[in-house]
């Protein structure tokens, strides 16, 4: 097997600054693609709590389903129209469709799920099914 040897020549500071300047001459764009939503999932004795950060979307564009103890979040953030006269230096805001699913390790009560959306945070309160909640057994003393 033959290995190619390439000579490394360090860039002089002027060339480095020119490269940096050219970096801002091109707009940064992200292609529209499906992306995952970041979640926090917490559990208490009676409930699961799920929080998702989904800024910049109308609540009507979020779809939440719960089937067979699998929670599915779906939606799409529309890309804003580009300003044709403007020269973009940076474009990092996400757009496009997203989806995320989580399977709960025990049965949950899908009929009693509460969902709120405030300041870009989707919060879900998902009660555990009554059959799986721990039952306290009292002891009768004689």
Q: pLDDT tens digits for 53-67?
A: 998 888 999 999 999
pLDDT at 93 over 50: yes
Residues 34, 73: contact at Cβ < 8 Å?
no
Q: Where are the domains of the chain?
A: 30-132
Q: Which whole number is the average pLDDT over 87-110?
A: 86
By residue count, the chain amounts to 142
Tens of pLDDT, residue by residue over 12-59, are 655 666 665 665 555 544 444 556 788 999 999 999 999 999 988 889
Of 138, 123, 127, residue with least CA distance to 51: 123
Lowest mean pLDDT among 39-43, 97-101, 120-124, 131-135: 131-135
**Could you tell me which CATH number the domain at 30-132 has?**
2.60.40.790
């Amino acid at each position: 097997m033959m290995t190619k040897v390439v000579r490394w020549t360090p860039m002089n500071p002027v060339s480095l600054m020119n490269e940096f300047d050219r970096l801002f001459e091109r707009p940064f764009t992200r292609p529209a693609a499906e992306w995952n939503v970041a979640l926090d999932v917490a559990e208490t004795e009676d409930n699961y709590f799920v929080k998702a950060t989904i800024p910049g979307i109308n609540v009507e564009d979020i779809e939440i389903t719960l089937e067979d103890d699998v929670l599915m979040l779906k939606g799409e953030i529309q890309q804003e129209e580009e300003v044709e006269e403007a020269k973009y230096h940076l474009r990092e805001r996400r757009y496009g469709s997203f989806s995320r699913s989580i399977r709960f390790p025990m049965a949950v009560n899908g009929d009693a799920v509460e969902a709120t959306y405030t300041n870009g945070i989707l919060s879900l309160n998902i009660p555990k099914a009554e059959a799986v909640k721990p039952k306290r057994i009292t002891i009768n003393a004689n």
